[in-house]
Every structure is written in structure tokens, then in C-alpha cells.
Amino acid sequence: MHFIIVVSFAILASSILDTQGWHLNCTYPKDDGPCRARVRSYYFDNQTQRCRKFWYGGCEGNANNFERRKDCKKACEVARPSPLRFGDFRGALNASDFNRST
């Protein structure tokens, strides 16, 4: 029984650390690297809280470097709720939803 608890705890701890490490990559500044290749990449801009395109030099740099915009967004951008617009709920209530007693 103790073995199962220890193994479960180890798996949980490693998954939490892995997730936190992945998101820490988003805090690094953009780094083109010293090489001169022009590889289109994406980095997370902490000031605007958005993924932006940049030209990666092809070597070194840091972990805030994603091949695809969707990978950058998945790792770094926080989901924001869409703004509510008036009229979104027009016709959403049926006559049976109305309660005269309240």
C-alpha cells in the first residue's frame, strides 16, 4: 500500500514540475541567438502577453522559442473569455421558463 502511495506521489510531483518548467520558458526574453540563419519562430512577449514572430538565428538562444504560433499560444497565452455582447441571448427563454410566482 505504501508503495502505491509513494509511486502516485512521485508521478504527481513530476507532472507538476514538468508543467511549471514548460511555462517558465515563456518568461525568458526573446533571444535571436548568435548565428545568422533566418528561421521563422515565435516567442512570448511578456509585456503584451502575446506570441510574436521573430527571426531565430538557428543556434543557442533560449527556451522561449517555438516553431509554430499555436505551440507558443498553447504554452504561454492565458485563455481570455470573449466579451459579452448585448443580444447574445435573444430568444433564449421559452414560455415554459417563465415563472409568474417569483
Domains contained in the chain, number = 1
Cell of 4: 502505491
pLDDT single digits (tens) 10-37:
444 444 444 444 478 999 999 999 999 9
> Considering the domain boundaries, does residue 47 fall inside one?
yes
> Considering the domain boundaries, does residue 46 fall inside one?
yes
Residue range 61-86: mean pLDDT, rounded? 83
> Considering the domain boundaries, does residue 9 fall inside one?
no
Residue 42: CATH number of its domain:
4.10.410.10
> Considering the domain boundaries, does residue 18 fall inside one?
no
pLDDT of residue 23: 75
- Whether 47 contacts 76, CB under 8 Å: no
Whole-model pTM: value is 0.57
Measured CA to CA, the distance from residue 42 to residue 70 in angstroms comes to 9
> Considering the domain boundaries, does residue 68 fall inside one?
yes
Using alpha carbons, list the distances in angstroms from residue 25 to 30, 31, 95: 10, 12, 53
Q: Where are the alpha helices (DSSP H) in 1-102?
A: 2-24, 69-76
Range of the domain at 39: 29-78
Question: SS3 of 11, please?
Answer: helix
How far separated are the first and last CA of the chain, in Å rounded? 55
- Whether 66 contacts 51, CB under 8 Å: yes
